[in-house]
Structure 1
């Protein structure tokens, strides 16, 4: 059989297998979703169960209230589980759509004897930039970490700081710095988005020496937050967020009056919430608000804090009924905020540092759109476009600003068309006046 025919046959089998796998995955997810949550049946069963149980609980009004709240929580968790499963299904389908067109390329690599390059983590990629000068250290380090099939570094220990560690082999040529010099260098490196990974590694290189120092500890927590933002892999992001949160919690325990400790603990609680269910997500949101308020009390001139509070207020103002009900069940109160409160905090950040960020201008514009103050929305959209794009967040906010501008333009055209329609006189009335 000719080589090309073999190639086409193999490719056809692989594509067919991928299609069958996709179909099976789709059926499994749909079936799982239906099993997990058939809402009408679930609610009807809940009503029957409620009617039977309440007959036995009429003697205790307080007990009935507790049972009712527990059932509300179960229903909300089921709804959240349904939404989570649908999001996972969409993500896996998107991944398959991206992978299937590349099957031929992978097949060519295999037939040509090429080695497929696996995706590697930012940590692993950074290590390859520097040559190893101490084979003995590298050998010792191999007992602590192992590389997974996808090329990610994972740990064989259970402590919170062991995964994706910085290889000790590269510490042999790193200059031992005094604490004040180290902190200055770390802060200077972090100003540039491209150097945040180097800043993180520098802190890890000195972790054993300065891990008890508060100024070092909150910066290390902040650096894990930076790595969360830089990473594109879900497992890595979750890893960095969890370690950073643990370090932040340790920092605020040791220095409860340090505003930076509260600031970065709050930020990392927000990052961790991205991987939690609805109940833990709301709990993380509660911690975020609590420690953000403490940080503002201790650092009243820090614009970043008001930007974060503005985002919190804006998100709370957009909460769904289910999320508000869940929060009320957990904490006894419904979280409340308004667009006006969010706008106040965004403008406070701008007052403290004019031109603070593209994101801050973007959220100010969003608030003015919600308040139907289009002229002010236009103003801050234009200011946002004047700022340079430095970070990934800047780039995303820049795109969002352009969407806001397009929406404002459509509203303007629609309003102008409506005004013209209202000003047109009826034909017979015009003839009568002539």
Structure 2
């Protein structure tokens, strides 16, 4: 009997990155404080008006007009090319634009550029948790539309930079969320897919549903968000804790909207609750 090809098993790796990236704004509402200065010493500090504009653009993210925000950040980055805070926000917004871009070639170009900008931001402000988290998110978005070998490489990048984001700011709830999602998806890889990844592509770090649950619970303890409840519920369903899962789904539905992504996650919660209650 003919054995399935590597390509039959490994496309499930796409799921490792799906869903991580529809997370709330990193700076706006993120628990804790990104303690890193956002410019390098060799560059004159931007005026207070630049900082005020960045703050205003964070607020404007709730409009979902990501393309316009991207254009404004591009103009700021051209004027202040060594401002790490501008660069990681630009990288994040570019991935948001990519998510809403139908053409795969354009989407991939946006994600490649976002990853380069996030990498530059990490180089400029290596103590910034948000810069590292943005690199993890950009890597994940790019992985979705990459070949299998690069998917595996970028999945390692997701884990590495989520870990670093947490180390730099243990109160960054969204970093725990991203790492939790990584654990959830990698733990869900079947035996053959995981074996192929180990043998052909060099393997991935260990992952488990228990680690995913721990990260989601930590994220919730730091900041209650709709998306944290939904992903924790999904993890609890995988480990057979249906009653706990339904409690978190109901809570997700009941929470007031705080982020532009909340309606999407509330709808997911309703669907899951209906499925688990039938």
**Fold shared, TM-score > 0.5 on shorter chain:** yes
Q: What are the superposed Cα offsets for residues 81-137 of structure 1, whole Å, 9 maximum, x if unpaired?
A: 9x69xxxxxxxxxxxxxxxxxxxxxxxxxxxxxxxxxxxxxxxxxxxxxxxxxxxxx
Q: What are the superposed Cα offsets for residues 375-434 of structure 1, whole Å, 9 maximum, x if unpaired?
A: 211211111111345767434433332232223223xxxxxxxxxxxxxxxxxxxxxxxx
Give the CA deviation at 1:202: 1.4
Corresponding residue of 1:183: 54
Corresponding residue of 1:64: none
Moved more, 328-337 or 345-354: 328-337
From the superposition, tell whether residues 334 and 282 of structure 1 become closer, same or farther in structure 2 (CA, over 3 Å): closer
* 2: CA distance, partners of 1:392 / 1:181: 21
Give the CA deviation at 1:294: 0.7
Corresponding residue of 2:252: 384
Of the candidates 197, 204, 221, which is equivalent to residue 67 of structure 2?
197
Corresponding residue of 1:289: 159
Secondary structure at 1:206's aligned position in 2?
helix
Normalised by the size of structure 2, how large is the TM-score?
A: 0.77
* 2: CA distance, partners of 1:79 / 1:382: 37
Native 8 Å contact 1:324 1:335 kept in 2: no
Corresponding residue of 2:16: none
Count of aligned pairs? 244
Segments of structure 2 that go 5 or more residues without pairing to the other structure are 13-46
From the superposition, tell whether residues 216 and 337 of structure 1 become closer, same or farther in structure 2 (CA, over 3 Å): same
Give the CA deviation at 1:284: 0.4
Corresponding residue of 2:106: 236
The structure with more helix, counted as a fraction of residues: 1
Corresponding residue of 1:259: 129
Corresponding residue of 1:120: none
Q: Who wins on radius of gyration, i.e. which is larger?
A: 1
Corresponding residue of 1:369: 237
Corresponding residue of 1:400: 268
Corresponding residue of 1:67: none
Normalised by the size of structure 1, how large is the TM-score?
A: 0.51
Native 8 Å contact 2:156 2:205 kept in 1: no
Segments of structure 1 that go 5 or more residues without pairing to the other structure are 1-38, 44-74, 85-175, 411-434
From the superposition, tell whether residues 275 and 333 of structure 1 become closer, same or farther in structure 2 (CA, over 3 Å): closer
RCO (CA 8 Å, sep 6+): is it higher in 1 or 2? 2
From the superposition, tell whether residues 193 and 238 of structure 1 become closer, same or farther in structure 2 (CA, over 3 Å): farther
* 2: CA distance, partners of 1:324 / 1:347: 26
From the superposition, tell whether residues 395 and 239 of structure 1 become closer, same or farther in structure 2 (CA, over 3 Å): farther
Native 8 Å contact 1:327 1:335 kept in 2: no
Corresponding residue of 1:127: none
From the superposition, tell whether residues 244 and 401 of structure 1 become closer, same or farther in structure 2 (CA, over 3 Å): same
Give the CA deviation at 1:332: 4.5
